[in-house]
Amino acid sequence: MLSKTTLSALILSTTFLSSLAHADIKIGVVTSSTGPIALVGIPQKNTVALLPETVAGEKITYIPLDDSSDPTATVKAFKKLIDEDHVDAIIGPSGSPNAMGVIQFAAESGTPMLAPVGTAAVVLPMTEQKKWVFKTTQNDDLIAAALVDQMKQSGVKTLGLMGTADPYGENWAKVMKGLTEKAGIKIVASETFQRQDTSLTGQSLKMLMASPDAVLIAAPGSSSVMPETTLKDQGYAGTVYQTHGAALDAFLKLGGKQVEGTILAASLMLVLDEVPDSASKTIASQYVSDYKQRYGENPATFGGNVYDAGLLLANAIPTALKGGQPGTAEFRAALRDALEQTHELAGTQGVYNITPADHSGFDERGRELITVKGGKWALLK
Amino acid sequence: MNFQIAVLLGQDGVTNGAIYALLALSILLVFTVTRILLIPQGEFVTFGALTMAAIQAGKPTALGWLLLALVLIDCALDLRQMWKTGKQAGAMNYGEIKWSAIKIGYTAILLVLLHSLTLADIPMLAQALLTLALVVPFGPILYRLFFQPIASAHSLVLLIVSIALHVAMVGIGLLLFGPEGARTAPFSDSGFHLGPVMLKSQTLWVILVSIALIVMLFIAFERTLYGKALRATAVNRMGARLMGISPVFAGKATFTMATFIGALSGILIAPITTLYFDSGFIISLKGFVGAIIGGLASYPVAAIGAVAVGMVEAFSMFWASNYKEVIVFTLIIPFLLWRSLTSRHVEEEE
């Protein structure tokens, strides 16, 4: 009995000592690698292995957790990372609703959170709590602006919207309403659907009755395919626009001939071979080839968002180390401040210029207009 | 709304309704015979569809290895049982060894086929048969592993195990087939013109196969001895048992049928819709609404109810796409009310 206690005390003290000796930088990664949005979470989880291992001589330990796409589980994962592992920053979660629910916990504990999620609501409007959140994807309105410009140029007067009945589709509907009004395009029909719907005949018939010049489909992942194929089946002849949610190889595979000519705006990762050389292109090519070597397939752009989070941290850590030791509140605060100073940092999705007002920090660089030509992604010319 | 739109929506409603009817019938079948509410029914649909998609993409799906693992566990359990009862009786009954050999041999042949054929090039009928041969054995094996040991438990326990199995199978589906949606090639590309409306041939396939299956089920239950045995079990489990009908046989047979119907439904709808690893639940839930309309007792009413669910779904999708699911699942409330008011309460047999 006695020996058992001594032994456990010994083990405890050694672990304590060792953890004190190497005060590694600890970064939690929360992804949805199972559950309904696993499509987004799996490439993100896979990307953790490609993140920088040492920065400025400090070893970085990543602690990946899965929240099974459940916002409650995300909160648990965040609390565990913050209270038990005392992480210095958290990358994640994968889903927009999941991210909205954990902002307060990140802010209360003063832990910087790098969210690779779609919705701009995590950083806008900027509040005291959202100061701790940084977003590594382009805001929807940045992508939407490119699409609306293209529509205007090609003479689209009326537009139909088909979006998923979730924050992704809703946010797009909101963004498009504002932008199309300014551009003089009228939204004549707006329909919603669920990702798992087995039939979209009703929605697309209604769309056809309104006969808009173009239709925009706002849906994440493979669910963006069926609205378009149903429309084409029923003889819709106008242009179909997609959001960056469709920027996946599975979109081409599932859609086949029926998605030919689709126009979307997305990150340059899809058309690396065609874009002119830039710092982002170099980094994106590096990421794609590393990912391919490790997993044997091309990464979805969602993975790039986590990769960028790693780059942002790696860029900020050297400055933050001057502010305090890893594992302390001072270090986390310094890390947050350093992240906010990010200037002209090239990532896979574009170039980051983060300011206190804009915690996403993208501009037009890295955003490309893409079309489907001959069953492949091609730069729209 | 004009005639053309009504016909298109009606066509859609009948197609989905036919699938819901098949699922409603198999849920009902399993429930009446074994008292298990088969929540994983939807997973059989997605497993069928996604296996078919994997085969068409030329990938030997890992489902075969899962089947092998389960078959081995199954055989080990059976042989252990044989050993125990044999010891007690003083004489061994070696029948189980033969059965185990057949089961393992069958799985081995399937695995060899999966890995030696160029799957993408074989005719579609062969692909469908291979899919069925792969998915259907899961029915009886899952029954053997998870339900047979607790066959006499309270129906609430059975329901909980059923839900657990559903959750596990969704997870396994993600692992085996990945998070992407999948879709298969249609049986034929041709369409038929009915006045101004184009009918897709796949729709006809779904409806014809559904009707054929329902008729076959009817004949099997009315005309064959095994069907009558299952019906007897459904009417009175204890009585059927006293008459020498094995509850194990009844359970395995109904699960086989339910899996067959589920997997076939999956193969039928895979060309007209995108299915995900987790699509099955919502599909089987709509079949379940149909089964509830039939009071979990009447086959024809359940089938009609399921078709009605499909129609309501199609038309509400047109009028109020935001509220489609709400409308469909609200249907269950008036029927539950009506059922609870008209039927008298029967104490559950323990």
The model's pLDDT over A187-224, given as tens digits with 9 standing for 90+, comes to: 999 999 888 888 888 888 889 888 899 999 998 878 88
The HSE-up count of residue A318 (CA atoms within 13 Å, CB side) is 9
Q: Which of A7-11, A263-267, B75-79, B275-279 has the lowest mean pLDDT?
A: A7-11
Residue B195's pLDDT is what? 64
Among B residues 299-318, those touching chain A with beta carbons less than 8 Å apart: 313-318
Chain B closest-CA separation from residue A148 CA (Å):
25
Tens digits of per-residue pLDDT, A324-365?
888 888 899 999 999 998 888 888 888 889 988 888 888 877
Q: Choose among A38, A199, A254: nearest Cβ to B179.
A: A38
Task: Give the pLDDT band of residue B345 (cuts 50, 70, 90).
Answer: low
Q: Choose among B180, B283, B317: nearest Cβ to A202.
A: B317
Give the mean model confidence (pLDDT) for residues B99-114. Answer: 90
Give the mean model confidence (pLDDT) for residues A66-80. Answer: 90
A70, A162, A199, best to mutate vs chain B, most B CBs in 10 Å: A199
Percent residues over pLDDT 70 in chain A:
94
Residue B151's pLDDT is what? 84
Residue B1's pLDDT is what? 63
Of A348, A378, A381, A343, the C-alpha closest to A365 is A348
Give the mean model confidence (pLDDT) for residues A65-93. Answer: 91
B3, B180, B193, B286, best to mutate vs chain A, most A CBs in 10 Å: B180
B256 pLDDT more than 90: yes
Residue A143's pLDDT is what? 86
Of B209, B201, B332, B329, the C-alpha closest to B272 is B201
Mean pLDDT, all residues of chain B: 87
Of A327, A232, A306, the C-alpha closest to A47 is A306
Residue bearing the bigger pLDDT, B329 or B349: B329
A289 pLDDT more than 80: yes
Residue B121's pLDDT is what? 84
DSSP per-residue letters across A251-293: HHHHHGGGGTT-EEEEEGGGGTTTSPP-HHHHHHHHHHHHHHH
- pTM, two decimals, is 0.81
B318 pLDDT more than 90: no
Which residue in B has a C-alpha nearest to residue A221's C-alpha? B180
**Which residues in chain A have Cβ-Cβ distances shorter than 8 Å to B317?**
197, 199-203
SS3 assignment, position B175: helix
How are beta strands A186-193 and A158-164 bridged, if at all?
parallel
Residue bearing the bigger pLDDT, A3 or B218: B218
What is the number of CB-based contacts under 8 A between chain A and chain B? Answer: 95
**Which residues in chain B have Cβ-Cβ distances shorter than 8 Å to A254?**
180-183, 274
Mean pLDDT, all residues of chain A: 86
Q: Which of A144-153, A241-250, B143-152 has the lowest mean pLDDT?
A: A241-250
What ipTM did this prediction achieve?
A: 0.77
Residue A3's pLDDT is what? 56
The side-by-side arrangement of strands in the sheet containing A367-373 is A186-193, A158-164, A214-218, A239-242, A263-267, A367-373, A376-379
Residue B344's pLDDT is what? 63
Residue B158's pLDDT is what? 93
How are beta strands A214-218 and A186-193 bridged, if at all?
unpaired
Chain B closest-CA separation from residue A239 CA (Å):
22
Residue A122's pLDDT is what? 84
**Which residues in chain A have Cβ-Cβ distances shorter than 8 Å to B321?**
191-193, 202-203, 206
Residue B346's pLDDT is what? 56
Residue B238's pLDDT is what? 82
Of B18, B317, B199, B207, the C-alpha closest to A204 is B317
B275 pLDDT more than 60: yes
Residue A294: what residue type? R
Tens digits of per-residue pLDDT, B186-215?
877 777 776 666 677 888 888 899 999 988
Tens digits of per-residue pLDDT, A271-286?
888 888 888 888 999 9
The A-side interface with B (CB below 8 A) comprises: 34-36, 38-39, 41-42, 165, 191-203, 205-206, 209, 221-223, 225-226, 233-234, 248, 250, 254
A36 pLDDT more than 80: no
A6 pLDDT more than 80: no
A310 pLDDT more than 90: yes
DSSP per-residue letters across A290-331: HHHHHHSSPPPHHHHHHHHHHHHHHHHHHHHHTT--TTSHHH
Residue A20's pLDDT is what? 45
B275 touches chain A (CB under 8 A): yes
Q: Give Cα B296 to chain centroid, integer Å.
A: 16
Sign of the alpha-carbon torsion through B239, B245, B246, B248? negative
Task: Give the pLDDT band of residue A21 (cuts 50, 70, 90).
Answer: very low
Give the mean model confidence (pLDDT) for residues A132-146. Answer: 87
Within 10 angstroms of residue A13's Cβ, the number of other Cβ atoms is: 10
